[in-house]
């Protein structure tokens, strides 16, 4: 798509996983869709962000893969989590998929595989157009019935303008679109970084393990039969030291956390990388003819592995709202007030509640002092003895989005 002044039902800004899902699923509704993403080339190869990050995809989002016709391929490329073991000091809580409504607690997939799956899916869609470039400006048309988007293509020096009925903003936590739209946002900086690395492993497969210690959270996600992905949230200075000192220092620090027996069964298999951690909230998820979703609308601490999942559920909710409006058999306008209001009703309370819940867990597990610790360890051991409560937790986690 190189033409200027073109008209679309939906323009999506961003090239992350939620944006690509949006591009695929909205195009399948036979809407005219434009994807604007930095470095995105549908005729070339997928541009990987180079991040080695694994996601635990929640059962609530499998419907999105099914609707995109990608469920089979996703099941093949992902690893099932059948059990989750949570540790704090001597306390342990073991959750199992047997207690819940699904055959698995989550499915683990790595960023690049998922990105490539979606990228390939975009290539066959006739009514999906794309621009490799970035948004530079935004305005409404004279009658307010369209958004005008000014775009600087990666290969051009001139700015072109497109018209769209709905703008879907999915350009990440530092969203430029959010800024030019004048939507206020807030950030709670956890003063932590997540350190990520891949490991070879001879531990029992299909088990996700997570340790809480002071304000740190360490998780090992099973990425294949013999491999794990580590995500270790810790204070900025500790994370920086890990990266500086290297692998042997990491293994020494890990032994204090997980013990020498478990440590002897894993071996680091990648470079360490790190990412800063913060909770971002926005004053508005929706404004006239615009929807914010993914990290541009909300970020959370990764302790519950829900960040991407919330963004995917945004897409699933939006496509359900489109379906309802299309079925009413009127001339469909993707950016009309009714669609945006029902989307807002469905998502505003939920996303805020999930953000608050995750932040409360983060604060609760960070609280020091003997009584706080006693409460946590007693609580976890108590939960572990009750199948009824564990069943409730598994069901809640599978449906919380
Ligand atoms: C350490 C860590 C671990 C995590 N683990 C999990 C997990 O286990 N499970 C889970 O569900 N979530 C997890 N998350 C959260 C998850 O990574 C994010 O929620 C998700 O990647 C957000 O996707 P996004 O597309 O909204 O943003 P991003 O991935 O940041 O993508 C933004 C995109 O927009 C493009 N862009 C930016 N500006 C412009 C512009 N002006 N014009 C055009 N394009 C633009 C960028 O190039 C990029 O492609 C984790 C996060 C972290 C930090």
Is pLDDT above 50 for 245? yes
Q: Categorize the per-residue pLDDT at 365 as very low, low, confident or very high, splitting at 50, 70 and 90.
A: confident
Q: Tell me how crowded residue 281 is: count the other CB atoms within 10 A of its CB.
A: 18
Candidate from 4-18, 63-77, 344-358 with smallest mean pLDDT = 4-18
The pLDDT of residue 2:
43
DSSP 66-106: HHTT-HHHHHHHSEEE-EEEEEETTEEEEEEGGGSSSS-SE
Q: How confident is the model at residue 43 (pLDDT cuts 50, 70, 90)?
A: low
d(CA 125, CA 115): 16
pLDDT value of position 134? 93
**Is the pLDDT score of 118 beyond 80?**
yes
Domain enclosing residue 296, as ranges = 7-56+112-186+280-361
If pLDDT is split at 50, 70 and 90, which confidence band does 49 have? low
Pocket probe mutation, ligand 1, options 38, 112, 234, max atoms within 8 Å of Cβ: 38
Q: Which atom of ligand 1 is nearest to the CA of 17?
A: 25
Paired residues of 185 in beta bridges: 282
137 domain residue, yes or no: yes
Number of domains in the chain: 1
Question: Average pLDDT in the 63-85 region?
Answer: 97
Q: Determine which of 42-46, 226-230, 239-243 has the lowest per-residue pLDDT on average.
A: 42-46
Which CATH number fits the domain that encloses residue 350? 3.50.50.60
Cβ(55) – ligand 1 distance below 6 Å: yes
Asked if the model's pLDDT at residue 3 lies above 50, the reply is: no
- Structure confidence at residue 1 as a pLDDT band (50, 70, 90): very low
| Domain presence at residue 392 | no
Q: Say what the pLDDT of residue 5 is.
A: 53
List the structure tokens of 43. 């005729």
Q: For residue 204, how far is its CA from the centre of ligand 1 (angstroms)?
A: 30
Q: 3-class SS at 202?
A: coil
**Nearest CA among 274, 271, 236, 234 for reference residue 254:** 234
- Does 219 map to a domain? no
Poorest-confidence range of 18-32, 282-296, 302-316, 377-391?
377-391
pLDDT of residue 37: 94
pLDDT digits (tens, 9 = 90+) for 182-202: 999 999 999 999 999 999 999
Q: How far is the centre of ligand 1, averaged over its atoms, from the C-alpha of 172 (Å)?
A: 5
pLDDT mean over 248-253:
96
Q: Is the CB of 31 under 6 A from ligand 1?
A: no
Give tens-digit pLDDT for 264-312. 999 999 999 999 999 999 999 999 999 999 999 999 999 999 999 999 9
Q: What is the mean pLDDT of residues 240-263?
A: 96
Q: Identify the DSSP state of 142.
A: T
User: Whole-model pTM?
Assistant: 0.94
The pLDDT assigned to 397 comes to: 87
Going by C-alpha positions, the residue among 211, 200, 171, 173 that lies closest to residue 84 is 211
Q: Answer yes or no: is 29 within a domain.
A: yes
- The three-class DSSP label of residue 222 is strand
> How high is the pLDDT of residue 39?
82
**pLDDT of the residue at 51:** 54
Whether 82 maps to a domain, the answer reads: no
d(CA 259, CA 264): 9
Mean pLDDT of the chain: 93
Q: Ligand 1, atom 17: nearest CA belongs to which residue? A: 308
In which band, very low, low, confident or very high, does the pLDDT at 90 lie, cut at 50, 70 and 90?
confident
Q: Which atom of ligand 1 is nearest to the CA of 18?
A: 25
Residues β-bridged to residue 282: 185
* H or E element in which residue 29 lies: none
pLDDT at 179: 97
Q: Is there a domain that residue 350 lies in? A: yes
What confidence tier does 372 reach under pLDDT thresholds 50, 70, 90? confident
22 lines ligand 1 (CB under 6 A): no
Residue 211 near residue 227 (C-beta atoms within 8 A)? no
Mean pLDDT across 30-56 = 78
User: Domain for residue 74, yes or no?
Assistant: no
**Residue 155: inside a domain, yes or no?**
yes
């Amino acid at each position: 798509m190189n033409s200027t002044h073109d008209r679309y039902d939906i323009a999506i800004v961003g090239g992350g996983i939620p944006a690509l899902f949006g591009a695929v699923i909205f195009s399948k509704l036979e809407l005219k869709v434009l994807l604007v993403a930095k470095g995105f080339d549908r005729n070339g190869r997928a541009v990987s962000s180079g991040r080695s990050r694994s996601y635990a995809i929640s059962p609530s989002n499998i419907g999105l893969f099914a609707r995109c016709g990608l469920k089979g391929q996703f099941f093949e490329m992902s690893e099932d989590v059948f059990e989750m073991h949570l540790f704090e000091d001597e306390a342990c809580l073991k959750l199992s998929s047997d207690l819940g409504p699904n055959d698995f607690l989550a499915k683990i997939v790595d960023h690049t595989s998922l990105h490539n799956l979606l990228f390939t899916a975009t290539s066959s869609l006739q009514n999906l157009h794309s621009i490799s470039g970035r948004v530079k400006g935004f305005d409404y048309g004279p009658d307010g019935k369209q958004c005008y988007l000014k775009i600087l293509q990666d290969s051009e020096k001139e700015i072109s303008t497109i018209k769209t009925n709905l703008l879907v903003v999915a350009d990440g936590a530092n969203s430029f679109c959010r800024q030019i739209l004048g939507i206020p946002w807030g950030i709670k900086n956890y003063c932590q970084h997540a350190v990520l690395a891949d490991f070879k492993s001879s531990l029992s497969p299909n088990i996700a393990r997570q340790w809480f210690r002071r304000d740190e959270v360490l998780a090992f996600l099973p990425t294949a039969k013999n491999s794990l992905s580590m995500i270790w949230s810790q204070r900025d200075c500790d994370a920086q030291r890990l990266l500086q000192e290297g692998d042997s220092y990491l293994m020494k620090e890990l032994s204090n956390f997980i013990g020498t027996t478990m440590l002897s069964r894993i071996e680091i298999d990648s470079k360490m990388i790190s990412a800063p951690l913060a909770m971002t909230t926005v004053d508005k998820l929706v404004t006239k003819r615009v929807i914010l979703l993914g990290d541009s609308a909300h970020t959370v601490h990764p302790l519950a592995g829900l960040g991407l999942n919330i963004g995917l559920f945004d897409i699933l909710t939006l496509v359900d709202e489109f379906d309802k409006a299309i079925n009413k058999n009127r001339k469909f306008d993707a950016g009309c007030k009714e669609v945006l209001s029902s989307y807002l009703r469905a998502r505003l309370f939920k996303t805020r509640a999930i953000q608050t819940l995750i932040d409360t867990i983060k604060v609760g597990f960070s609280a020091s002092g003997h009584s706080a610790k006693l409460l946590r360890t007693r609580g976890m051991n108590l939960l572990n003895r009750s199948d009824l409560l564990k069943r409730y937790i598994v069901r809640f986690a599978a449906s919380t989005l």
